[in-house]
């Protein structure tokens, strides 16, 4: 388990604890991860760990990170599609 994943789980535990302590619904509490100054790889890792809300101070910085994340995700999707195609082709040759 990564440090980001561990930290996210710890914060979620704290949210649960304080929600119960102050009679709040957990679903009404939103965690905003501050991604400013963090590299895109760490943002993707946090997203993979379940974090969905991120905050940036500057719109331009956010825009650049979003473009980079989309580029990386497109590359990953292309690799997955290639692996699926190879796997399908291997199965056809067996039959």
Q: What is the pLDDT of residue 95?
A: 55
Q: What is the pLDDT of residue 88?
A: 78
Q: What is the pLDDT of residue 93?
A: 66
- The 8-class DSSP code of residue 73 comes to H
Residue at token pair 């956010």: 62
Q: What is the pLDDT of residue 83?
A: 87
The pTM for the full model equals: 0.70
Full pLDDT tens readout for the chain, 95 residues: 789 999 999 999 999 999 999 999 999 999 999 998 899 999 999 999 999 999 998 888 889 999 999 999 899 898 898 888 888 777 776 55
Q: What is the pLDDT of residue 26?
A: 94
Q: Torsions phi, psi of 33, nearest 5?
A: -85, 130
User: CB neighbours of 77 closer than 8 A, spacing ≥ 6?
Assistant: none
Q: What is the pLDDT of residue 84?
A: 86
DSSP string, 26-68: GGG----EE-TT--HHHHHHHHHTT---EE-S-HHHHHHHHHH
């Amino acid at each position: 388990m990564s440090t980001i994943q561990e930290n996210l789980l710890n914060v979620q535990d704290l949210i649960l604890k304080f929600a119960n302590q102050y009679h709040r619904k957990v679903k009404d509490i939103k965690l905003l991860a501050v991604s400013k100054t963090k590299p895109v790889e760490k943002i993707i890792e946090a997203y993979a760990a379940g974090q969905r809300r991120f905050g940036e101070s500057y719109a331009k910085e956010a825009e650049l990170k979003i473009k980079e994340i989309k580029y990386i995700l497109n590359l990953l999707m292309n690799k997955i599609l290639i692996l699926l195609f190879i796997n399908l082709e291997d199965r056809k040759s067996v039959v």
